[in-house]
Amino acid sequence: MKLNTRQVDGVTIVDCSGRITLGEGSVMMRDTVRDLLSKGNKKIVLNLGDVNYIDSSGIGELVSAFTTTKNQGGELKLLHLTKKVHDLLQITKLYTVFDVKDDEAAAVKAFK
């Protein structure tokens, strides 16, 4: 898994690619979000457009990122879900829990 962070109008966009699964992928995601929050970056977009696989641990990591950010007064949105990830969030009833966007500019604009 690869993660790359960039700033757009005060929002941190994390471009994720590869697999978010038990082990390295989940740990990288957790560390990256915690690092961003500890540095005061509380407007976060996870761009999952290049994530081709996610397992239950990866889903758990997305939930953890969402709740950790929220608990610290921040906001986390998901961007560009692949069909696989979209379907998984649907069947786990998490699709409506997350704020999911299809357009990066709209995602950035949507932060309060």
User: Smaller CB distance to another protein: residue 84 or 109?
Assistant: 84
Bridge-based pairing of strands 2-8 and 11-20 is antiparallel
Instruction: List binders of another protein among 31-90 (CB under 8 A).
Output: 55-57, 59-61, 63-64, 66-67, 84, 88
Number of residues that bind another protein (CB under 8 A): 20
Backbone angles phi, psi at 73, to 5 degrees: 80, 15
Q: Which of 9, 92, 106, 109 binds another protein (CB under 8 A)?
A: 92
> In this structure, is the dihedral angle defined by the CA atoms of residues 58, 63, 69 and 71, taken in order, positive or negative?
negative
Beta carbon of residue 70, minimum distance to another protein (angstroms, whole number): 9
